[in-house]
Amino acid sequence: MKESPYESPKSLEINSDDIALSRPKPGPVLIGLVVVILMVNAFLSFTVSSLIAGPNVHSIGYSVGYVAGQVIFFPLLVVGLFQIGRRFRNSRSRHKIFFWSSLLVLLSILGNLGTLV
């Protein structure tokens, strides 16, 4: 049987199970750092939101929205913007970008805390 010129030769067929996809995965240290900085950011952001709202008027809804916006949504927005570039579309890059943007949020929270106290 003659092979079609538009098909790959049988000798060049590659089994996709044999190829290991090399997608960089985040290490446990990076994941641990992301979790720790998220917890620190959440605690400090909640503290700052409590100081902004004042001692007499403390709304839990305001605090939850403030913490979610500053600790979760802002770093996710930065990660989403970096997804435009092809080399940032793997799990390791996402974790690195989330870590560094969370670190910037931490510096912002510490600055807010310094001005409020």
Predicted pLDDT of residue 83: 92
Mean pLDDT of 93-113: 92
Structural domain of 104: 35-116
| Residue, of 78 and 61, whose pLDDT is higher | 78
Give the lowest-confidence range in 7-21, 25-39, 54-68: 7-21
| Residue, of 74 and 117, whose pLDDT is higher | 74
For residue 9, name the pLDDT band (cuts at 50, 70, 90). low
Predicted pLDDT of residue 14: 59
Q: Assess if residue 61 is contained within a domain.
A: yes
Q: Assess if residue 18 is contained within a domain.
A: no
Q: Assess if residue 7 is contained within a domain.
A: no
Average pLDDT of every residue of the chain: 82
Q: Assess if residue 24 is contained within a domain.
A: no
Q: Assess if residue 94 is contained within a domain.
A: yes
Work out how many domains the chain is built from and give that number: 1
- List, as own/partner pairs, every contact residues 30-39 make where C-beta atoms lie below 8 angstroms and the sequence separation is at least 24, other chains included: 30/92, 30/95, 30/96, 30/99, 31/95, 33/99, 34/95, 34/98, 34/99, 34/102, 37/99, 37/102, 37/103, 37/106, 38/71, 38/102
Mean pLDDT of 52-65: 74
Mean pLDDT of 82-110: 92
